[in-house]
Structure 1
């Protein structure tokens, strides 16, 4: 993995989230599985994390101090899920696209050589590449969940069509 593959992944997520305007409102709002979030909640939870990465990671990255620990994961995810339940799909997708586009622009500005420069988050030493590798894994996990859910929906629809 290198800077270009990270950038390509982030560009792909913009297109992919934009494509979610195609799912039905019911699919957008329904839990993807028992005890899981809806597509709306999944997409919304990326936004505060992207903002955090942009403001508290990338913009403070080069001051040679250990970067702050992340905020409370459960609390941040809970707040974003609640917001997703109240707002229109276009607003959730719009917020995702706005902040991820800004994050992408900042990432593109970083010289290639700096992507392998070690830095600290608390006591943990990372590089930008290893850091974004973890974030990409997280993105892909959720993208896979949504794809599986959407395919199940398609299967059910086609099965019920054949049963008529």
Structure 2
């Protein structure tokens, strides 16, 4: 499925960060914002949530449950402060690869199965009924947003 290929391309971008120094990893978007390390681990935390919570609940015919974004994101960014860039990169690659493997193992039926997100049946942006396919599309946009941020730091 094209959406999974696109979602998987994030790993190639992550690979390109392998050349960063530890001080690069700690560069911030601006003084109030996250560092590269925090951004990358933030995305990995969401990958783990999809892998460990969202996909299993959809496979069980249950709705998707997303946590409060602010506290969820705060945990990831706090944790990133304690880790090296190298560890964050390795963890992020492992998370995304495991998630891609899991998504590729699902039938098209499972990927397009209509479900809910925190009790809501339709994506407010697209008006489409929620499914893993729709959610992965949203996460691709999320990836792109954060990739642009990191690119702007590295310029």
Quote the Cα distance in structure 1 between the aligned partners of 2:73 and 2:119: 24
Quote the Cα distance in structure 2 between the aligned partners of 1:65 and 1:17: 32
SS in 2 for 1:121: coil
Quote the Cα distance in structure 1 between the aligned partners of 2:111 and 2:57: 15
Does structure 1 conserve the Cα–Cα contact (< 8 Å) formed by 2:29 and 2:149? Answer: yes
SS in 1 for 2:116: strand
**1:57 equivalent in structure 2:** 54
As a proportion of its length, which structure holds more helix? 1
Equivalent pairs counted in the alignment come to: 147
> What is the correspondence of 1:34-53 to structure 2 with a 5 Å cutoff?
34-53=31-50
| Structure 1 unaligned regions, length at least 5 | 152-164
TM-score (structure 1 length as normaliser) = 0.82
| Structure 2 unaligned regions, length at least 5 | 122-129
Who wins on radius of gyration, i.e. which is larger? 1
CA shift, 1:32, in A, is: 1.7
Does structure 1 conserve the Cα–Cα contact (< 8 Å) formed by 2:40 and 2:89? Answer: yes
| Distance change >3 Å, CA 52–CA 106, structure 1 → 2 | same
Quote the Cα distance in structure 2 between the aligned partners of 1:81 and 1:55: 19
1:131 lines up with 2:135 in the alignment: yes
Deviation readout 1:56-91 (Å, 9 max, x if unpaired): 1111213223233x1221122112112211111111
Quote the Cα distance in structure 1 between the aligned partners of 2:62 and 2:56: 12
Quote the Cα distance in structure 1 between the aligned partners of 2:109 and 2:71: 35
Task: Choose the corresponding residue for 1:143, options 136, 142, 147.
Answer: 147
CA RMSD, 1 decimal: 1.6
TM-score (structure 2 length as normaliser) = 0.86
- Which deviates more from structure 2 when the two are superposed, residues 72-81 or residues 91-100? 72-81
**1:10 equivalent in structure 2:** 7
